[in-house]
């Protein structure tokens, strides 16, 4: 252990610990803007300046390793003045439209200004030319609010292994953008939105669709329905002060009714429907032949990533649409017929923890119903803003139930929101189908339950059939796994991939943690635990036992994999780069 002194306090830390980490371990606050634990330690923002006795000039705490006998001061007049000057320089080139910014009230730059008592911006000088990009329809870019912290660059490269963006230019001309200055829409970007979660300001946000949804809700000629993803019920409470992972299902349903939605449905219904089709697809490929491994296709960020970087493996992806899109197709066909409503008058709104779902909803393939399956996608953050705009305090609402029939779901559909959940849900149904007559087919497959930033491998046996399976979350892990498979170094029958760390609970549209992005790991684990708690409490825990799903097939689809089911619930993918072009190995 290394012994040092920070602010006259003796401190003991392990070798390799930085001054910033040592201070935080001992309850000493040092401000930062660019630091991301284990991902970005570059000292770019200069906000973590400290005084180290014997060193020339002030030092960046996030880059300086602790040494024996080191004496550090974090709150001297020189340190405070330097940090304040750095902050004033940042603000002098910042688009200060704080009241109208999507990050108002949750902006780290604004919080630092409050902490340091910056009330005016005395410095005047040149401003960067503003660059705005909303062409993707998923992520909005506003360079006038960028502080060049490079968090977005680091998470895209180190965690997701994509490197869709980088710092271009030099000196005052530096800015963050895709290569060659193209739009995100034209870059090899998965639109996963992890950059929006770590951005400290409003430079990167979700593409906001709240006004479009308000207009639909106010249109008397439209029948507006909403579906909510499994992960949203354990996220939506956080912007209202509830603990991470707080289960807010009933209150969320009540809030959506108060917003004016005609019907409040559950994407878990779509997840159960996905399992019916995907488990059938898996069994057919195992028994009748077909490309193996079968790879799940529920994550639109992962699908777009595969289209860019692994086009030769697209035939391995399940042809099943995601739960969001299956729900939309059923809403504008089956539900429209049962309710006697012209599908042209139905508006389907999704609430998702994901920015890539916005891109997915607008894919041209997603119109098998004759209409766009899903009209608008709101992130969890957008729904929280709509609740506030309507004066709805989520915490004070009563518990209410989803509407039927598209609001009925199972525990299996609920765990779609966490890494390993799709795999486990599919195995639950596959086990029951492959072991008919078994008194109690296996329900819990803990061997496929993963945690953030992990590839999980397992072998499961169903009625004598041995399956090698794998689960990956985060595109960096997915890329590594696909390299292993494509080179023949790994052999599996079934693979689940989620584009975001931890799965949907860690999506790009999730609430920004109150403690900042460095608290994301503990927040994700809390949400995961809550989804499994919901599953354990459910009466029905297998997708094929959902009575609403059984009724759907009996009345409308016939059987899983039928011609009508295939037309409405399955899709195809397209290579977005010439075959053979490879991504770089992720640095992490």
The residues assigned a catalytic role are: 278, 281, 298, 318, 357, 360, 365, 504
One DSSP character per residue, 161-172 reads ----EEEESSGG
On whether the CB atoms of residues 350 and 227 are closer than 8 A, the answer is yes
Number of H helices, E strands in the chain: 19, 18
Q: The tokens of 60 are what?
A: 């960046």
Query: From the centroid of its chain, how far is CA 89?
Result: 33
Which of 409, 451, 357 shows the shortest CA–CA distance to 542?
409
Angle (deg, nearest 10), helices 380-389 and 249-259: 60
Rounded Cα–Cα distance for residues 29 and 23 (Å): 7
Q: How far apart are CA 61 and CA 116, in angstroms?
A: 18
Q: What angle do CA 398, 399, 401 make, to 5 degrees?
A: 135
Length of the chain: 588
Query: In which order are the strands placed within the sheet that holds 346-352?
Result: 263-266, 223-228, 346-352, 376-379
- Count CB neighbours of 241 within 10 A: 11
Contact in structure between 329 and 206 (CB atoms under 8 Å)? no
- Cα separation, 43 vs 30, in Å, equals 13
**Angle 21-24-26 from CA coordinates, rounded to 5°:** 115
Q: Which of 473, 408, 376 is nearest to 267 (CA)?
A: 408
For 122-266, where are the alpha helices, taking DSSP H only? 151-154, 194-198, 210-217, 249-259
Distances (CA, A) of 42 to 101, 151, 306: 27, 10, 30
**Closest to 202 (Cα-Cα) out of 147, 130, 136, 138:** 147
- Any idea what DSSP says for residue 515? T
Task: Calculate the CA dihedral of residues 212, 213, 217, 223 and round it to 10 degrees.
Answer: 110
- The token pair that represents 308 in the structure block: 């860019």
Look up residue 530 and give its two tokens.
């809550």
> Cα separation of 330 and 327, whole Å?
5
Cβ contacts of 229 within 8 Å, gap of 6 or more: 267, 323, 324, 350, 351, 352, 353, 354, 416, 417, 504
Rounded to the nearest 5°, which phi and psi values hold at 352? -130, 155
CA distance 220 to 345: 10
């Amino acid at each position: 252990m290394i012994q040092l002194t920070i602010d006259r306090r003796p401190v003991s830390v392990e070798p390799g610990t930085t001054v910033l980490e040592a201070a935080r371990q001992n309850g000493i606050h040092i401000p930062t803007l660019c630091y991301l634990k284990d991902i970005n330690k570059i000292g770019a923002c200069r906000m973590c300046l400290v005084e180290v006795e014997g060193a020339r000039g002030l030092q960046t705490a996030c880059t300086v390793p602790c040494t024996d006998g080191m004496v550090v001061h974090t709150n001297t007049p020189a340190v405070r003045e330097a940090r304040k000057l750095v902050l004033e320089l940042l603000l002098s080139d910042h688009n200060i439209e704080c009241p109208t910014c999507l990050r108002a009230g949750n902006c780290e730059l604004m919080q630092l200004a409050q902490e340091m008592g910056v009330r005016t911006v005395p410095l005047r000088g040149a401003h960067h030319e503003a660059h705005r990009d909303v062409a993707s329809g998923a992520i909005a870019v506003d360079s006038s609010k960028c502080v060049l912290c490079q968090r977005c660059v680091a998470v895209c490269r180190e965690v997701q292994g994509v490197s869709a963006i980088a710092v271009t230019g030099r000196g005052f001309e530096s800015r963050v953008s895709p290569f060659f200055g193209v739009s995100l829409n034209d870059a090899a970007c998965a639109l996963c939105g992890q950059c929006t979660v770590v951005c400290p300001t409003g430079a990167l946000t979700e593409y906001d669709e709240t006004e479009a949804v308000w207009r639909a809700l106010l249109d008397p000629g439209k029948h507006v329905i909403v579906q909510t993803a499994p992960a949203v019920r354990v996220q939506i409470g956080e912007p209202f002060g509830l603990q991470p992972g707080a289960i807010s299902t009933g209150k969320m349903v009540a809030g959506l009714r108060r917003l004016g939605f005609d019907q409040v449905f559950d994407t878990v219904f779509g997840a159960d429907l996905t399992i019916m089709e995907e488990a059938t697809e898996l069994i057919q490929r195992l028994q009748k032949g077909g490309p193996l491994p079968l790879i799940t296709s529920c994550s639109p960020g992962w699908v777009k990533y595969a289209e860019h970087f692994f086009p030769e493996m697209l035939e391995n992806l399940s042809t099943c649409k995601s739960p969001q899109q299956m729900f939309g197709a059923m809403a504008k066909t089956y539900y429209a017929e049962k309710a006697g409503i012209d599908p042209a008058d139905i508006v389907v709104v999704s609430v998702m923890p994901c920015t890539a779902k916005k891109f997915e909803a607008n894919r041209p393939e997603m119109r098998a119903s004759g209409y766009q399956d899903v009209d608008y996608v709101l992130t969890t953050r957008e729904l929280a803003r709509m609740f506030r705009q309507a004066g709805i305090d989520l915490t004070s609402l009563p518990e209410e139930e989803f509407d039927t029939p598209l609001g009925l779901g199972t525990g299996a559909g609920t765990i779609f929101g966490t890494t390993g959940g799709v795999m486990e849900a599919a195995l639950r149904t596959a086990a029951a189908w492959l072991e008919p007559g078994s008194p109690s087919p296996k329900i819990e497959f803990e061997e496929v339950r993963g945690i953030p930033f992990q590839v999980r491998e397992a072998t499961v046996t169903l009625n004598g059939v041995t399956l090698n399976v794998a689960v990956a979350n985060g595109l960096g892990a997915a890329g590594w796994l696909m390299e292993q498979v494509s080179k023949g170094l790994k052999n599996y029958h079934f693979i689940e991939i989620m584009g975001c760390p931890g799965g949907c609970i860690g999506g790009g549209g999730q609430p920004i943690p109150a403690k900042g992005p460095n608290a994301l790991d503990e927040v994700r684990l809390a949400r995961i635990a809550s989804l499994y708690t919901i599953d354990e409490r459910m009466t029905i825990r297998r997708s094929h036992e959902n009575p609403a799903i059984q009724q759907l097939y009996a009345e409308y689809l016939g059987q899983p994999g039928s011609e009508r089911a295939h037309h409405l619930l399955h899709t195809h993918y397209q290579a977005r780069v010439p075959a053979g072009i490879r991504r770089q190995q992720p640095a992490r």
